Structure 1
Amino acid sequence: MTWPPLREELRGVEPYGAPQLDVPVQLNVNENPYGPSLACAADIATAVGRAATTLNRYPDREFVELRTALAAYLSRDTPHGVGAEQVWAANGSNEVMLQLLQAFGGPGRTALSFAPTYSMYPEYARDTVTEWVVGHRESDFSLDLDHARDLVKEQQPSVILLPSPNNPTGTALPLEAVTLLCEAAGDGIVVVDEAYGEFRRSGTPSALELLPRHRNLVVSRTMSKAFALAGGRVGYLAAAPEICDAIRVVRLPYHLSAVTQATALAALRHAPELLGRVDELRAERDATVAWLRAQGLQVADSDANFALFGTFPDRHAVWQGLLDRGVLIRETGPDGWLRVSIGTADEMMAFKQALIEVRTSNE
């Protein structure tokens, strides 16, 4: 037997992860380029300091205070409100998704999404021994609802994963699509992944509005993006209390540390400030999309803090050319496409200048 005795389907698989390179302009993992203020950082430090005096004890296993604060925050996006009993949190939305697949996926069950989509989804399925089925999106990266409904009815998946806005395309789902798939799924769980939800354009509603209508709907969020808390590793979801109760069966004991809970609560106290740059990033995104189109490139409509653009006969050469000029973006999505995160105005100017130089040198 080959050592170590790894599961056969994992042999030769490279670990997930975008390149972490020390370059002047880092626009590859959709981070918020604006960090917390000194006041916010001081509040976090004070909160963590208080938590440090109790680290000889396990944290609140049910993290009631944090769930209450997250529910209050989410309630701003729906006229129906969200209760603490409807909220669950974990170490990043990645862990939230993995827990959902642990609870509702598994051997003999299927998870389904529509490509192109977040590249971690099939890994969640693989890691939980859940069969992975993928449908397709249209050329504009929207969903053909007839195709989507037919595929769901044919496969009868236990879990459907629907990012909105979609990663890597930035495409948002209309609420009619969410309702159609919730109804088609029967008892299957429908997860609308709103990791980039705060960046959606004006008039684009959140799937949170549909929670009272569909007991099988889950809406997930993260504090990594709009909240500028990628290093804090906090993700969360809103769903029927029965779904939150089910996740308790698979969660690890005391999975959210006292330090994580203190950090997240402090960040939520500064929500208006941390989210204050969202409008600025939206405007920068729209300006970037317009500029890329003016260069003769295709760009997907985006409700996120990134733009998918192309197409290039050799996208790796373009990616490398940008990197050689100190600008790191992401080589992801369909063949020929690249994705750029939205940074500061100066960072986006550096990206534009580098892209012009790369395209000129390749002509």
Structure 2
Amino acid sequence: MAELSDLPLRANLVGKTPYGAPQAAVPVSLNVNENTHPLPEAFITEAAAAIAEALRGVNRYPDREFLELRAALADYLDAGLVPEQIWAANGSNEVLQQLLQAFGGPGRTLLSFTPTYSMYPLLADGTDTKWVGVPRNADFTVTPELVVSAIREHNPDIVILCNPNNPTGTTLSAETILAAYDAFDGMLIVDEAYHEFNAGAESAVDLLPGRHRLVVSRTMSKAFAFAGVRLGYLAADAAVIDALRLVRLPYHLSALTQAAAITAIRHSGAMLGTVGEIREQRDRLAAALNELGYTVHPSGSNFLLVGGFADPNAVFETLREQGILIRNLDIPGHLRITAGTESETTAVIEAITALTA
């Protein structure tokens, strides 16, 4: 069997590694920021019926423009948007990939502020877009001054701001987003994958009017507990959606995905019913770890970045041996922990307490 090195791989992919979050069948899996709560039974019943009905027509291609789903997403965002301003794909990673296919590519640059979502440089590699990672401030914040300085120095074609940021949980101000938009003539993407967990926060969706280069990306994987369905979406000027049609694959959203997502939005109140509890468990975990002497960074998401571990890898491996999976992202002294159910959070607290004693 051949090795990767035997293939005529594109030069910018040589030596790179794929996305690699561990997957393991453990009792407590808190490493990829999923919503670990069960789905509402009423939704499951209705979604099963909707998918069964969709199956009757799968001998035909699905609605290429998925207009019903786009209308449902526009209603969910409740920002005066029309379906022509909404786009969706198989997870927000595909949404971001399509944006880079349309606005990135050879000779163009994507900039963001590190540490941030590990897929951004991988998506840049996949589209042959140059990646520039600018370090965040020491407390992981990104200020208007930092944004403007970085944009002026690197002159990027695309900037991605993750809000709240993964893996730090740090939030951004509207002032910072506007400073970024006004600092250059390229595309500004605000990735709001975790927005529903950021209690009371304004969305960059509200900044869209009059800003045709602004894109707001969202996902149903997190707060909606819909990670296995793969549905990400964005809101933007209708011209951006026209650009994405140039690069999307035909019929890229299956009829089954569309049926499930439309049903989930119809049940959005119940689907998001666990968000408050997840915030409570996040804050409970933060309080417990603070009491143990660890540094818990402020988070507007469903996870915590925790510092103060002398050997993060040893802690990660010890917890995994106990059936608890968290995330080691190679940030010195730090581990990331998703807030799960009450029992899952208790298991993490007890395990780390035992290690600290």
Output one character per residue of 1:239-289: Cα deviation in whole Å (capped at 9) or x when no partner: 000011100000001100111101101111111001011111111111211
TM-aligned CA deviation for residue 154 of structure 1: 2.5
TM-aligned CA deviation for residue 192 of structure 1: 0.5
- Greater CA deviation, 340-349 or 320-329? 320-329
TM-aligned CA deviation for residue 335 of structure 1: 1.5
Alignment correspondent of 1:167:
166
TM-aligned CA deviation for residue 206 of structure 1: 1.0
For 1:273 and 1:293, how far apart are their aligned partners in 2?
32
Output one character per residue of 1:194-213: Cα deviation in whole Å (capped at 9) or x when no partner: 000000023x2111110114
For 2:135 and 2:16, how far apart are their aligned partners in 1?
24
Contact 2:110 2:156 in 1 (8 A): yes
User: Does the residue aligned with 2:273 lie in a helix, a strand or coil?
Assistant: helix
TM-aligned CA deviation for residue 150 of structure 1: 1.6
Output one character per residue of 1:307-361: Cα deviation in whole Å (capped at 9) or x when no partner: 000122211001111112221100016211100001001100000111112223x
Gaps of 5+ in 1: none
Output one character per residue of 1:203-225: Cα deviation in whole Å (capped at 9) or x when no partner: x2111110114221111100000
- Does residue 254 (structure 1) correspond to residue 272 (structure 2)? The answer is no
For 1:189 and 1:8, how far apart are their aligned partners in 2?
26
> Residue type of the partner of 1:149?
V
Q: Percent identity?
A: 51
Contact 1:163 1:193 in 2 (8 A): yes
- Does residue 221 (structure 1) correspond to residue 224 (structure 2)? The answer is no
For 1:112 and 1:9, how far apart are their aligned partners in 2?
17
TM-aligned CA deviation for residue 11 of structure 1: 3.2
Alignment of 1:140-151 (within 5 A): 140-151=139-150
- Does residue 38 (structure 1) correspond to residue 38 (structure 2)? The answer is no
Alignment of 1:173-252 (within 5 A): 173-186=172-185, 188-202=186-200, 204-252=201-249
Alignment correspondent of 2:12:
9
For 2:182 and 2:189, how far apart are their aligned partners in 1?
13
> Residue type of the partner of 1:207?
A
In structure 2, relative to structure 1, the CA distance for the partners of 1:220 and 1:2 (3 Å cut) is closer
- Greater CA deviation, 331-340 or 160-169? 331-340
Among candidates 277, 290, 312, match of residue 287 of structure 2: 290
- Does residue 89 (structure 1) correspond to residue 88 (structure 2)? The answer is yes
Aligned residues: 354
> Residue type of the partner of 2:73?
L
For 2:323 and 2:60, how far apart are their aligned partners in 1?
46
> Residue type of the partner of 1:142?
T
CA RMSD of aligned residues (A): 1.3
TM-aligned CA deviation for residue 2 of structure 1: 4.5
> Residue type of the partner of 1:222?
T
> Residue type of the partner of 1:60?
D
For 1:74 and 1:147, how far apart are their aligned partners in 2?
30
For 2:310 and 2:12, how far apart are their aligned partners in 1?
32
TM-aligned CA deviation for residue 8 of structure 1: 3.1
Report the TM-score when normalising by structure 1: 0.95
Contact 2:147 2:176 in 1 (8 A): no
Contact 1:28 1:328 in 2 (8 A): yes
> Residue type of the partner of 2:29?
Q
TM-aligned CA deviation for residue 23 of structure 1: 1.1
Contact 1:322 1:358 in 2 (8 A): no
Gaps of 5+ in 2: none
Alignment of 1:107-126 (within 5 A): 107-126=106-125
For 2:5 and 2:272, how far apart are their aligned partners in 1?
50
